[in-house]
Structure 1
Amino acid sequence: MRKPAAAALTALALLAAACGGTDGGEQATGGTFTFALPSDPGVLDPAMGVLSVTNTVLSLAYDTLVHASAAGKIVPGLAQTWQVTPDAVTFTLRKGVTCADGAPMTASDVAASVNHIADPATKSPVYGVFVPTGMKAEADDAAGTVKLSMPEPFSFILESARSIFVVCGKGVKDRSLLARGTSGSGPFRLTEAVPSDHYTFKARRDYAWGPDGASGKDLPETVVLKVVPNEQTATNLLVSGTLNGAVLYGPDRARLEADPRVTKKVVPYGNGQFFYHQGDDRPAHDPAVRKALTQAVDLKELAGIASSGTGRPATGLVLDPRPCQGDTVTGHLPAFDAAAAASALDAAGWRPGGDGIRVKDGKRLTLRLLYATTRGAGVQAAAEYLGAAWRKAGVEVKLNGGIDAKVSESLNAAQDWDVAWVPIGVTLPSQLTGFLSGPGAPKGANFAHLSNKRYESLVAKAGLLPSAEGCASWQESESALFENADLIPVVQNTVLQASKGAAYEMQGGLFVASSIRLTEGG
């Protein structure tokens, strides 16, 4: 079966997102809700939507077959009921659902949305991430059912459906309409797209199939998503009332946290973590070296630096609401002990040279540390902290910062790194396996050349079990990675989700579109 493309790694890094809601007083009717986007979403075709900002925009106009509750429980969406077998799930669709252009939403529309992504000719970067590799869809329009099937048992056959936007109406036959338009059954329809400036949506008053019976009756008349790349500017606009909502990552959030006129909520935003390159010719190919390097770092102090003091302890690799609850990190990482790290490096044959840099067989212990400069001051400071900690241990460290595209190229094609700070945000553990096992880059998506047999064995076992039954093995598989120091989870990042004169909910970086309300007294 086809593995996720290595280029999709950047997609995973950018899919990390916030969950939660804001509330701002008594409900008002009509009007315009204005929200800040940190960047332009680019092409709006759901089959090509790899950036978190793209999927934020799409979530206003498109529905999914099912949703996840805050606790991770699957609840109805476009599908009213479903029947699950180990390798398939059959959905019975709601009646009376229509697309924004008035066309009825059909089972064939759902099947076409899945099969288009799975078609190799599409070259969809979300194939293997949102649509599992090997998935096929069959529709029965007369019965109003859609069957999603896999070539073998798959744990999250049901849960994966919550990430697939369903295209309907004219967009099914002419995908070119989706480059700068929408064709979905969601509560809003796109009416104007001005790249790098704003995207305007109008409410669908006929919408009546939202989560828990939500309708379009009380939605704002208009939603404007305004591109505001500068967080200081977004903060100023929110305080002044020009914006109703924004999600803030950096230091400007402190101003809003102290402002009683702004409603806010601190919510998770994915993980800060680093990987060791385990290629045959790399120092970290030796597990003793990886563990020693990890022991040389105070991970608790590093977490505070990387998140600028706004993070939480890392508990796993999968974002909330995740299907398998629990902490896979605590107790599974080498503890901070600089003296033990030095002894372990000595035992591994890396002895201090004349200039203090460790040497083995005439080769200096050198690490090229790769990170994205676009991830904020915290990541830059974290890279510098790692460099300082490893230099104390006798390691020559070369910092290599770059923009996202450059980091992706270095990770996959150039392979010119030894340690990389790579944030990954996924909602299902199965979405990680192509990146944590299998062929190494550039032949496969396994950019760090990981080869953890225990992880692979546990994943193979878990993948054949229904999601709930497989959770123990999925959780154990993550811990196996940490115990082997294959990758080191450092911190769970957070963002400030803020609003003024409005209330809205987000989940996994997507709007719960039917929740958007303007409020009085904002």
Structure 2
Amino acid sequence: MRARSRTNRARALQISAGLVALGMLAAGCSGGSGSSEGSGGGGTTTMVVYTGQSGDYQINFNPFSPTQIGGGAAIYEQLFFINKSGDGEPQPLLGTEYTWNDDGTELSITLRDDVKWTDGEAFTADDVVFSLNIVKDHAALNSIGFDGEAKAVDDTHVVITFPEAAFTQGPDVLGNIYMVPEHLWEGRNPETDVNEEPVGTGPLKFGDFKAQAFTYVANEDYWGEVPAIKTVRFLSLSGNTAGADGIMAGTIDWQTSPVPNMDKVSEVYPGYDALTSNLMQTSLIACANPDLGCTGPQTDPAVRRAVYYALNRQQINALGFQNTNSEISPSYALLSNQKDMISSAITEPVAPETGDAAAATAELEGAGWAKGSDGIYAKDGEKLSLMVETVTGWTDYITGLQTMAQQLKEVGIELKVGQSSWNEWTGKKTSGKFQLAIDNLYQGSAPDPYYVYNNFFSTTSTAKVGKTSGNNVSRFSDPEVDQAIKALSGLPLDDHAGRQPHLDVIQNTIVEEMPYIPLWTGGTTSVWNVKKFSGWPSDSDMYAYPAVWSRNDFAEIIKHVKPAS
């Protein structure tokens, strides 16, 4: 029997829920806080966080929604936590143990028997089956391709039966589906409901909501150790500059967005420190598939490859990102720990760091594009002019895109930068109403490239333009890639020889088609208040990915951090 189980382990560190005092800081204010919540350290139990949100929040605590607002996994828990910065082994949350049968068609899960929803009702296996069926029954929410049949054996045991071997669905099911209470969600539409009054099982529960800030408070009846931090406030500001000002003033305790002098945070910002982790693969996402309704020059693979070759990534990294980014592979296998999985047929497994104008020109002219009198290429009366979408106030991306525009103009490509609120930007991507957008491809449920491919390149997680897609916002669709992804789903992650031919098919196709134009492996930097709080992740103890906007990791960090004495 292929088994991977972990018993419930005692928590060595006190769980702390990061919360921010209700009156501590509002967008546009520079005030401090009361004596028990001040920035001088010594036992504060409130925490102010900033995710990079630009513009007012729109209430949405639906854990299944792509536009849900921050911190949701601290309310709605998964069965297990999987640390993508670590070994990828599931750590117990609402589930305590799991076991696969030998052929990967049956997954048995044991649940905790001491958990209650924050309205006092008991959490049972029926809630797990209900939550899994929400994902299965709604294609727009089922980016993981979950097709299992879940049954409650009793209140603390669930068995999921799959039609075929489904080892790779394990990390998604165990670590990426949020549990909701059947008695409150039955009859609701999980695709549209904004869930204004969330009821979960996690270490935090809903406090209050305003467009400029919302709060979570500690769940004093949490099944685990009750958080030491008693209030977390999520701020909406005007962008990165306002966030950096908040760090300088001591009014923000944790943010994952750039500040000046990121290599000298502890010197420039007394009482703070920073940690950078390179895990997210930043890309220019193209609405790439004309068969699904995409329009514009970016639907030509030659244009996408020309952009790929024309960019001077070193210059962009220096000017926009303080040299925090690292190399990326066009195969989307992470170079730090997945390099051995890159197909040997890919002759250039790492994206060029400096621009190659000759290669860009060859791509365009080979596809019939010709330069006009203004120096910009055109074809069949269509000018090679592209609009790339980003979020207002994301100064690092904006600077990077402006630098790209200058570089691309030199090879005959016009790039315009469009800025909008986070909600508008997200809506454009998921509906397909864009040409290019800059964003990150996350690593998925476990540290393996399969999850990037399944999430972002599978036909099952996309939709026609005008319909809400899953993670595959590029609208990329290829039957051979779909077949290879399906074949991988039935193989254990440690079957390296059996998996590589399927990885080869996917990687060679996406390098050729390039629906996502690889930019770099982004350096995600969190800045946090070490004078007021201890227990943050570190290079020697990366117990979670250090990003305030990474839902599952946020919840784990909140459970580790505690007030500094």
TM-score, normalised relative to structure 2: 0.70
Equivalent residue in structure 1 for 2:151, among 129, 138, 159? 138
What is the one-letter code of the residue matched to 1:165? Answer: Y
Distance change in 2, residues 1:83/1:308 (3 Å): same
Deviation of 1:90 after TM superposition, in Å, equals 1.7
Distance change in 2, residues 1:224/1:111 (3 Å): same
What is the one-letter code of the residue matched to 2:388? Answer: L
Number of aligned residue pairs? 475
- SS of 1:116's partner is helix
- The CA deviation string for residues 329-385 of structure 1, in whole angstroms up to 9 with x for no partner, is 99336754223433454444334444544455x535523232224362333333333
Q: What's 2:529 paired with?
A: 499
Equivalent residue in structure 2 for 1:367, among 368, 380, 385? 385
What is the one-letter code of the residue matched to 2:490? Answer: L
Equivalent residue in structure 1 for 2:231, among 219, 223, 233? 223
Q: Distance in 1 between matches of 2:502 and 2:260?
A: 35
What is the one-letter code of the residue matched to 1:140? Answer: V
User: Structure 2 matches for 1:79-94, cutoff 5 A?
Assistant: 79-85=95-101, 86-94=104-112
Q: Distance in 2 between matches of 1:308 and 1:96?
A: 48
Q: What's 2:324 paired with?
A: 310
User: Structure 2 matches for 1:70-469, cutoff 5 A?
Assistant: 70-85=86-101, 86-120=104-138, 127-129=141-143, 132-142=145-155, 144-160=156-172, 161-168=174-181, 171=184, 179-204=195-220, 207-208=223-224, 215-216=225-226, 219-220=227-228, 222-230=230-238, 231-238=240-247, 241-251=250-260, 256-257=265-266, 258-268=268-278, 270-276=280-286, 277=288, 279=290, 287-315=301-329, 331-332=348-349, 335=352, 336-360=355-379, 363=381, 365-374=383-392, 376-395=394-413, 397-403=414-420, 404=422, 407=425, 417=435, 419-425=436-442, 427=444, 428-429=451-452, 430-434=454-458, 441-442=465-466, 445=469, 448=474, 450-452=476-478, 455-469=481-495
Asked if 1 retains the 8 angstrom alpha-carbon contact of 2:310 and 2:356, the reply is: yes
- The CA deviation string for residues 193-234 of structure 1, in whole angstroms up to 9 with x for no partner, is 4453331412426633xxxxxx23xx3251222424245554
Asked if 2 retains the 8 angstrom alpha-carbon contact of 1:305 and 1:381, the reply is: yes
Identical-pair percentage: 16
Asked if 2 retains the 8 angstrom alpha-carbon contact of 1:313 and 1:491, the reply is: yes
Deviation of 1:42 after TM superposition, in Å, equals 2.0
- The CA deviation string for residues 418-449 of structure 1, in whole angstroms up to 9 with x for no partner, is x4434343513322234698765357846545
Query: 184-193 vs 252-261, which deviates more?
Result: 252-261
Q: What's 1:9 paired with?
A: none
Q: What's 1:485 paired with?
A: 514
Asked if 1 retains the 8 angstrom alpha-carbon contact of 2:319 and 2:400, the reply is: yes
Deviation of 1:183 after TM superposition, in Å, equals 2.4
Distance change in 2, residues 1:426/1:149 (3 Å): farther
- SS of 1:431's partner is helix
Larger relative strand fraction: 1
Asked if 2 retains the 8 angstrom alpha-carbon contact of 1:333 and 1:483, the reply is: no
- The CA deviation string for residues 444-500 of structure 1, in whole angstroms up to 9 with x for no partner, is 846545355653443232123233437646754246412443432112222223123
Deviation of 1:92 after TM superposition, in Å, equals 1.2
- The CA deviation string for residues 136-155 of structure 1, in whole angstroms up to 9 with x for no partner, is 4321225x211234444434
Distance change in 2, residues 1:149/1:393 (3 Å): same
Distance change in 2, residues 1:391/1:43 (3 Å): closer
Q: What's 1:514 paired with?
A: 559
Asked if 2 retains the 8 angstrom alpha-carbon contact of 1:88 and 1:157, the reply is: no
Q: Distance in 2 between matches of 1:199 and 1:424?
A: 28
Q: Distance in 1 between matches of 2:371 and 2:182?
A: 68
Give unpaired runs (5+ residues) of structure 1: 1-21, 209-214
Q: Distance in 1 between matches of 2:179 and 2:164?
A: 24
- SS of 2:392's partner is helix
TM-score, normalised relative to structure 1: 0.75
Query: 486-495 vs 497-506, which deviates more?
Result: 497-506
Deviation of 1:303 after TM superposition, in Å, equals 4.1
Asked if 2 retains the 8 angstrom alpha-carbon contact of 1:318 and 1:425, the reply is: no
Q: What's 1:7 paired with?
A: none
Distance change in 2, residues 1:173/1:406 (3 Å): closer
Q: Distance in 1 between matches of 2:136 and 2:163?
A: 13
Deviation of 1:65 after TM superposition, in Å, equals 0.9
Query: 425-434 vs 61-70, which deviates more?
Result: 425-434
Q: Distance in 1 between matches of 2:126 and 2:327?
A: 44
Asked if 1 retains the 8 angstrom alpha-carbon contact of 2:459 and 2:482, the reply is: no
Q: Distance in 2 between matches of 1:323 and 1:87?
A: 28
Deviation of 1:298 after TM superposition, in Å, equals 2.4
Distance change in 2, residues 1:223/1:154 (3 Å): same
- SS of 1:492's partner is strand
Equivalent residue in structure 1 for 2:74, among 57, 60, 75? 60
Deviation of 1:37 after TM superposition, in Å, equals 5.0
Q: Distance in 2 between matches of 1:237 and 1:344?
A: 46
Distance change in 2, residues 1:432/1:252 (3 Å): same
Give unpaired runs (5+ residues) of structure 2: 1-17, 19-40, 445-450, 538-543
Asked if 2 retains the 8 angstrom alpha-carbon contact of 1:303 and 1:490, the reply is: no
